[in-house]
Amino acid sequence: MAKNDILGASLWDAYSNKVTTLMNNPQHQGEITEEEAESHGNKLIVADFGAESCGDAVRLYWEIDPKDDKIVNSKFKSFGCGTAIASSDVMTELCIGKTVQEAVKITNIDVELALRDDPETPAVPPQKMHCSVMAYDVIKKAAGLYMGVEAESFESEIIVCECARVSLGTLQEVIKLNDLKTVEQITDYTKAGGFCKSCIKPGGHEAREYYLTDILEDTRREMDEEKMKAAADAGGKGDFESMTLVQQIKAIDSEIDDSIRQFLIMDGGDMEVIDIKSSDEYIDVYIRYLGACNGCASSSTGTLYAIESTLKEKLSKKIRVLPI
C-alpha cells in the first residue's frame, strides 16, 4: 500500500513504524472456521462491530478453549483504512492467550499504546486516532456472545459519548497522553463529539452529567497541578533553573512558607515575590516587604541574608534576593 494511498505524504512521518508495517503485513488477518475450532475441541465466536458513519467495520474471531475460557487463537477481518487494519491486528494479538474475562479489560488506549514505537509518541496522526476505538466494542460483543450476556454488562466505565462509545476514563487518559488542549483535538483522537454533538457542552440537548468541555478543563487543571508539584519537587533536586517563571515563583513561595514567612508574620510583617530575572551568572529574585518589614533595618541585612541563604540552599546557588 503506497503512502499516498493513505493520506498526503507530508503526514506519513506521523505514523509509527509498527503501524506502517502492519498496514501492509497484518499478522492475524483472516478467519477461523467452525470446523477448525471443533477439530481442536474449542468453541468459535464471531463478533461484528461496524462504525458505519466513518466506513470502518471489524469482524473478530475467537477460538476459545471451554475448559478454561482461554482464547487460544484469534483473527480478524477489517473493512476500513490501513490504520484500522493495523489497530485490529494489534487488538487481536492482545486477545490471544487471555481468558475471556481478561480480554474484556483491553481498552482502546491499550491498542494505541501497543502501536507506538516509543511510549511518548502517538502511533498515528490525530485524524486517524479514532480507528483504534472499535476494539472496545467488538471485544465486549465477542465476550457477550460467549458468555450469553449483553455486551453492556461488561461496561464498568461511564460512557460520555454514546455515538462513538467513548468512556470518561478513555477521554481523560487520551487528553493526558497527548497533551490535548481543545475539544476539536479530542474529537480528532477519539471521535467523541463528532456525531450528534450532545456531549460537547450544555445547551440544545437533554442535560448530561459529563461534557467534553468540562472534562477537558478539569483534566487540564489536574495536569497543571501535577506539573507544578513535580516542578516544586524538582526544585529541591537542583532543577530550579529549568522551571518556567511561574513554576519558579511557586517554588520560592513554597520555600518561604516553610522556612521564613512565619517569622516575618510574628514581627508584624510579610513579603511577596515581585519578579525573577535570570542570566548566565545569577537568578535575581525581586521581593517586596510588607507591613512592619517594610523599612525595618534588618530587612536589608539579617532578614535578607536569611531569605537568600534559604533559597540558595533549597533551590539554586545562583539566586540573589533583591528588595525593591
- Per the annotation, where are the binding residues for Fe cation? 54, 81, 131
Residue ranges of the binding site: 54, 81, 131, 161, 163, 196, 199
Spell 158-175 as b/e; 16+ CB within 10 A means b. ebbbebbbbbbebbbbbb
For 188, 233, 265, 269, 276, the CA distances from 262, given in Å and listed in that order, are 50, 22, 5, 9, 23
Active site residue 296: no
Catalytic residue among 54, 95, 293, 296: 54
Active site residue 95: no
Residue ranges of the binding site for [2Fe-2S] cluster: 161, 163, 196, 199
User: How far apart are alpha carbons 107 and 113 in whole angstroms?
Assistant: 10
Phi-psi sector, 201: left (phi>0), alpha (psi -120 to 50), beta: beta
Cell reading at 51: 462504525
Residues 251 and 211 sit within 8 Å (Cβ to Cβ): no
In sequence order, the 6+-apart residues with CB closer than 8 A to the CB of 186 are 171, 174, 175, 180, 192, 193, 212, 216
The catalytic site residues sit at 54, 131
